[in-house]
Structure 1
């Protein structure tokens, strides 16, 4: 019996679920920012809400594409290399989170 080096789909699925949770959290923050638009800086708050929602959609899209690609790589036995897109999305999510926090504290 040959030992299996990986459990098909488990680590890849956990990563996809983590990105889905990130997108959900970003969407909630964007909706909270939209709600604040009534009483605080409307233009800045709505811009953060729009960018947050758009970024959440991009995160979900990238996560689903990455999940399918990595699953194919794992099935084929190819090594997995982290793309720059994941780092870019991570930086964007952090920047929007900081912008939302700044609006909340003002």
Structure 2
């Protein structure tokens, strides 16, 4: 009787699943767009320094930190997603979601404070 392909362990250097268009690839692309957006936002923050003062550096630092954190954890998230699909169960990355939401909230709060001050 042939083995179930979902339970066969894959080598570390091979693909984690057989369909390159599955959810992990789309999610990786979405996180890549998020990093690119944060880089653009951090550059825009630097343009505001003459008008808003050095407090804008807090926004710059937050956008750079968020983009760096997403970039550095992307490989682990991709592997976890691909393994979850292969195993038939996938849990959402609650920490990444909460951290990103918190960074967005903080950026929005700093932006509102700068506009109103």
TM-score band, normalised by shorter chain: 0.7 to 0.9
- Aligned residue runs from structure 1 range 61-100, under 5 A: 61-75=72-86, 77-99=87-109
Equivalences, count: 99
Determine the structure 2 residue equivalent to 1:19. Answer: 31
Asked whether 1:48 is paired with 2:59, we answer yes
Structure 1 stretches (4+) deviating beyond 4 angstroms? none
Using the TM superposition, name which of 11-20 and 77-86 deviates more: 77-86
User: Are residues 50 and 104 of structure 1, via their aligned partners in 2, closer, same or farther at CA, if it must alter by over 3 Å?
Assistant: same
Q: What stretches of structure 2 of length at least 5 have no aligned partner?
A: 1-16
TM-score by length of 1: 0.76
Q: What stretches of structure 1 of length at least 5 have no aligned partner?
A: 1-5
Query: Alpha-carbon deviation of 1:7?
Result: 6.8
CA RMSD of aligned residues (A): 2.3
Q: Indicate if the aligned counterparts of 2:31 and 2:74 stay in contact, CA closer than 8 A.
A: yes
| Equivalent of 2:50 in 9, 16, 38 | 38
